[in-house]
Structure 1
């Protein structure tokens, strides 16, 4: 092993006990993906990076819910894994509890699929809807609904995080919970430490990373408990950064609700100018077409006129097949850039194997997707042709590796 490789090896060895803010531990996956790239200039460029050089954290690499390809999402363990893989920005989806405390959870009402609450009778009894098994005779699917707003912060913190999954055909609770996709793992799901938003801020601050909290859409009527309004909720999120002494420049607040972005722009402009408008209009409007600007409501120029600076759509919206079989920017991507909007894409490494074309996240380029190496082809197009600021990933090492190889920030 060359001396640089020895130094890197020592850093990897020490990484389990100490945090080295200027190094990243990539593991074998990025190099596995390079091996599966079709021969050509991109494979040559990425192969030249090598396994024994130092890799550093990059803001281009954004942790999506921690590192949920292998770790329970929004847990301390997942955040630590994302940090070690060099994610420069780490996400906390923000929901609220019964006592109006902010916590990290992808959905206000996902505790039945992301924690062990249904195995805890005392807390399961507090769920909005308890577990109901499937009934093959009637076609009824198994279901439950357990929300952060059903529990106090202390009760929420007593739960154990698990891999997000449930079996809708299950006729028993055990089968309902035992549903992790085969391409993920339960190896690290025996302990999943849930976190409040304040604890997430303290941890990410200690790691020297930046923050991207997403204000989740409430799944209970607002104002909650008669007085807790949507604006109260949006303001509380920002207040917790101010109370922790976090500079606004280190925070990228997100929301799928344009009203939240506009609230921050008006009430907290230092934070609002980095607010990220998450775009899921394809799921809300059947007429939406990423190649037809007339179906985008509001359009790119209108969003920019309202003060929106950063737009974040799913991966597929930003690309399309080119005439030469390459991946090229979509009309959506070109119009967004023309309007002066920064772009962030979500979410890499969320599709499992790409042998079937990659599903939802790759649907606009499915004819070009032949296997796992095409993750890097898409990443290269997003960076080099679309010009995205960063990419959310369920396994940040991949984006960290790519960013180091091509010089992305």
Structure 2
């Protein structure tokens, strides 16, 4: 959703939107996903969720989760954010498969376009310099929008580069090798710049990771029997691209690839930070628009945004609902605040529920350890968190007190574990 490190979820009960009950039915995992999907087998969540339970503050929730032993099944509440990028390079085949094995019922592909107007899975249109080896490939690095500039300690200038999917053809993009998202701003060589994996991630699975096109992602997730959540990334180049490829062409092309693959629109949760994209799908592709997701980035667009002050939300929750929006997806922190030492729902969350909007939250386990405050995603509850186990306390407020539809996670085993323990979809 937003880029590292400060990176970046119910329905209106009227005739137009789905009722809450119908929406819950639409989210029910298909039979293939419940058993792990074809080729996946049983769901394996590994030790991390139990580690987090051990790190929780003592109390009833900790005791309840400690008694949860499985077996575990895939859950649509568990949404794979870019795959499983806590340990696997994001938006790679290997990361998607890891997420499916951890029980994610919904897999995300952030969609960007190449120079030859093919769609690929990449978090941002211009992130190839931090997520691939492009700067180590002179013939491709030469095509970057902005070439590598080394850090200059004497002036304080930080190292930089800007390499976009739209700088390369699909074939050139597919020739790149992915790496963990990160960079070293003090790098004086391209290699030093690329060596920036955060200490709480790992490079263990980088060497054999594989980039994918949007069509390849569709084929993979279809074969796994899971659901799709593609995000149409906001272009970082002028549109229409090269004079003829408009935003509407781009938005339509993404949907057309699901139609060509024979995907049921009820299995697709198209996302965008641009409200106009959501409104376009509602008008041009109503079967897909019915569960399109408006990603709320208004905290970055409007510095006066406050999750406790409705007057700072433009448009309002009711205005969004009146436009036909049915699902709203803000960052974790917007949905919560703290009171009497506890995490509680925010005014933003309560207003969204009152307007009948479905909620999806992003992104759990995107930040580093919580003993330092958790960073961007936990900013509204920083005074009441001091350990990684607090992720589960937050997840419980999202799941039970607010009733979110699902939660994006960089390590879907955690959300799978919680959803199974609480018997969520």
| Offset at residue 286 of structure 1 (A) | 1.0
Where does 1:13-162 land on structure 2 (aligned, <5 Å)?
18-20=39-41, 23-50=42-69, 53-162=70-179
Report the Cα distance in structure 1 between the residues aligned to 2:40 and 2:155, rounded to whole angstroms.
Answer: 54
For the pair 1:375 / 2:394, whether they are aligned, the reply is: no
SS of the residue 1:355 aligns to = helix
Aligned residues, how many? Answer: 389
2:211 to 194, 201, 215: 194
Report the Cα distance in structure 2 between the residues aligned to 1:321 and 1:132, rounded to whole angstroms.
Answer: 43
| Offset at residue 19 of structure 1 (A) | 1.7
For the pair 1:179 / 2:196, whether they are aligned, the reply is: yes
Partner of 2:329: 312
Relative contact order higher in (CA < 8 Å, ≥ 6 apart): 2
For the pair 1:216 / 2:216, whether they are aligned, the reply is: no
| Offset at residue 18 of structure 1 (A) | 4.1
Runs of 4 or more off by more than 6 Å in structure 1? none
| Cα RMSD (Å) | 1.0
Report the Cα distance in structure 1 between the residues aligned to 2:212 and 2:189, rounded to whole angstroms.
Answer: 29
| Offset at residue 322 of structure 1 (A) | 2.1
SS of the residue 1:346 aligns to = strand
Partner of 2:420: 404
Report the Cα distance in structure 2 between the residues aligned to 1:199 and 1:27, rounded to whole angstroms.
Answer: 27
Q: TM-score, normalised by structure 2?
A: 0.90
Report the Cα distance in structure 2 between the residues aligned to 1:272 and 1:251, rounded to whole angstroms.
Answer: 9
1:291 to 295, 308, 316: 308
Report the Cα distance in structure 1 between the residues aligned to 2:135 and 2:209, rounded to whole angstroms.
Answer: 15
For the pair 1:279 / 2:302, whether they are aligned, the reply is: no
Q: TM-score, normalised by structure 1?
A: 0.94
Partner of 1:391: 407
Report the Cα distance in structure 1 between the residues aligned to 2:176 and 2:275, rounded to whole angstroms.
Answer: 32
For the pair 1:236 / 2:236, whether they are aligned, the reply is: no
Where does structure 2 lack aligned partners over 5 or more consecutive residues? 1-35
SS of the residue 1:185 aligns to = coil
